Amino acid sequence: MREFPNRKGVMLIGGMPATKMAERFGTPVMVTDENALRENYRAVWKAFNDHFPTRVNYACKANTNLSILRVLEQEGTFIDAVSIGEVESCLRAGFVPERILYTGVAVSDAEMLALVKANVPINVDSVPQLRRLAKMDPKHPISLRVNPDVGSGHSAKVVTGAKGAKFGIPKDEIISAYREALDLGFSPRGLHAHTGSGGSDPQVFGRVTEVLVEMFERVRSELGLKLEFLDIGGGLGIPYRPEEHPTDLNAVAAEVADRLKGSSVRTLVIEPGRYIVADTTVLLTTVQDIKRTPVKDYALVDAGFNTLIRPAFYDSYHHVAVANKFDRPAESKYDVAGPICESGDYLAKERMLPKVEAGDLLCIYDVGAYGFTMSSNYNTRPRCAEVLMKGGKAALIRERETVADMFRHQKVPARLRK
């Protein structure tokens, strides 16, 4: 969990007081530190390339803000995209098609045709999808996604590599899938798998690498196909709680590299998303009311699960601080809840904080991954603004939605307008 400096009792983010940001941009607002973003990417790239030639494909489903993507494009990342919208986001941010790998599931013909027209490589999820793609362009650049029967993740909802998951070609069928791809006219470039999200155990990454290397070598020996890369997916976790330790990147990279020894793999691909963006961003939200009940006290704020759904959806922990009382000791326990008309609308439960009052500014940590991208207009509430910090200067990178924005695409039939 990233530490933030304190100036006269006020939290500093990217060199600017949090209170000043709230005054300038309003709340709720998500604030990203550009330097932290660049540091995280460089740490991942260096850790893995110190052990084995590695390409980093940023899993952009974590955060597709164009400015965030632009920073990472400058850093040299490639992209893992899972929708045509993500592909378009990356193209608009300056990525060339060759630096994007599309990995979708339940892919429609229309979406696949758009990828073909854009010349974006496709990581094929199933044999039926492979056959449909062959009718469009049997020379299109592809790789194949396998279900490795190795699953991991911080929640059952994010485990993707376990047997029976909806993702990938079953591992017992992968050789025949490559054979059919060759018969259809394709020249597959790689092999891909993903175990899940939020892991930190080097052994998990080692196991999936070992499974994939065995398949990689069988493709070479049985089919004579020399694949260009082995993609072990992402899932690198971060410490959301103060007492948790950060993922040991060097240990993970060393474990993976050890499983690659003696293989014919020449390029490793990894797909971190959360690790690169999560701790770069915080959510600032203003306390509207303090409600005391016979059971607990609530700090009621202007951000709800429409703004940050992870606590309600995954029971995820996000650290909370009082940004304008950053130097004060904790003395009272609160549930931090929002304005949504649901009992499940909360951001944090039973948190010891300094005495909180209406008007205080709370900071929710580590929202850069799956924060804005999973936000919604539930209860017909506008989505929040986003700000990018660098060297004490703030830039608005997403305007706050207005109520009027939410009605732009709605149409009322003439017969109902009478």
Catalogue the active-site residues.
341
Closest-CA residue to 79 (of 114, 107, 103): 103
Q: HSE (CB half, 13 Å, CA atoms) of 103?
A: 29
Task: Establish whether the linkage from the previous residue to 28 is cis, with ω within 30° of 0.
Answer: yes
User: Looking at beta carbons, which pairs linking 129-138 to residues 24 or more positions away fall under 8 Å?
Assistant: 130/177, 130/180, 130/181, 130/184, 130/186, 131/180, 131/184, 134/184, 134/185, 134/186, 136/109, 136/112, 138/184, 138/185, 138/186
Angle value at C-alpha 23, between 274 and 399, nearest 5 degrees:
55
The position carrying tokens 């990233």 is 2
| Paired tokens of 127 | 């044999």
Give the number of other Cβ atoms within 10 Å of residue 133's Cβ: 23
Give the number of other Cβ atoms within 10 Å of residue 119's Cβ: 13
